[in-house]
Structure 1
């Protein structure tokens, strides 16, 4: 059977595999004599599960409505780079989107506030309604995007927050967490949340860094990226300036690493005592006190010059 032309093609009320072969053409499996269609503007699934499978490079020009059941858009046949933009997709009633492992797959969020739950490498859900897998790269929409990592998940590609106030949230981790800014593969992010369930370590980027430490285990890096719930801070290859502000009481380690690194208390307006034997800071070349209050420096318990 062949259907040539029409506004909308509605599937039968059974599980169906739709093969999308071109911009407005394809076939439906399960018919003994075959069932093909062309010049169709819109597709609508039946009341059970519909699987819309795209041939390599096929770009459907109309709308796809999964209707009821558990319905899927499947791009796993693609061998060329794939971008699925949820804001422009023209698909409704879809529960799962499958990218490709044969090329780079990018998923762009809709222009709403989005919560992305990252459940595994290149897989997760959006807003608890749409599941996705085989997407290496994620791009947020134009509003706020919150990327929430399940315990232990190591995302295998890139994450771009796009516009809005966007967050990477590792608070579900129960194992030790290290976030290395230079290797993170994330851009357009305004806030990174560590975990209080295990040790969280933050490593700076390969630039001169200014760390503003305003609260316990909270920091702003280079006035652009905010962090909370990180116990340990490690500088990188160049100079790191750790600016301490009262009433800050940092509970973890500060490691300057390579470069000329500084602990700067000049913003303090209350008395402060710095005991070098208990400071829990290493590889620091300079400590700057304050002119705004009394500051006391206690030397470590060995011969000092």
Structure 2
């Protein structure tokens, strides 16, 4: 049986299986095993539970996860060409790699593998944000369903996830993510590390779900409030929130918030207070 260290180079796998990256699937393959190893190590101890990988492609990160000691890697891949290319890795994994043909957007994360569950993935650019939002909903329903996420995004998206109030990147994504998770931007990866090279730099982010949200509120209400506030982010809150609160200035005053403030000036807890008010109105 082939061992992991005896697998052919990734470029050879790509050539043998005709794995030209498909833009429609958001594919950019990361072939530098030093970088994939760094991503795998960022997830910590992988010897218990399951590691979920989305869009493994030719399997660079998959190999690194297995070599880092993952007890089980469950790789979700939509492209059947990649599933064929991963067969040698699956054989070499000695039962530790399971391949699932499917669309990650349609697979409930809390049904995959076993806890403690970690998600480690070079996410396809075109579905990265919707995937993250769906996982946040799952974490809100069941905080223990995911222990850790180490995810690669376009740098601009990574900055939006980790931004603080007052930063121009601060918005809905930062609030929803940081309300439920500790968020840390780990490192950047240059376009040249990928095949084909994307036009943008990528960044790796680590998200650790909190034992409980930063403040009490309903997720759906928080989504509504942040959508309204940042949908017209240049306007003062007394204007941008009028669709939700006809007496917006009065509501803001009661909550101790400046009616002339703009959305990026508010803390996450302030949006939670608005969400609670919306739920009770």
TM-score (normalizing by structure 2):
0.30
The structure where helix makes up a greater share of residues is 2
| Greater strand share, structure number | 1
Q: Relative contact order (alpha carbons < 8 A, sep ≥ 6): 1 or 2 greater?
A: 2
Bigger Rg, structure 1 or 2: 1
TM-score by length of 1: 0.28
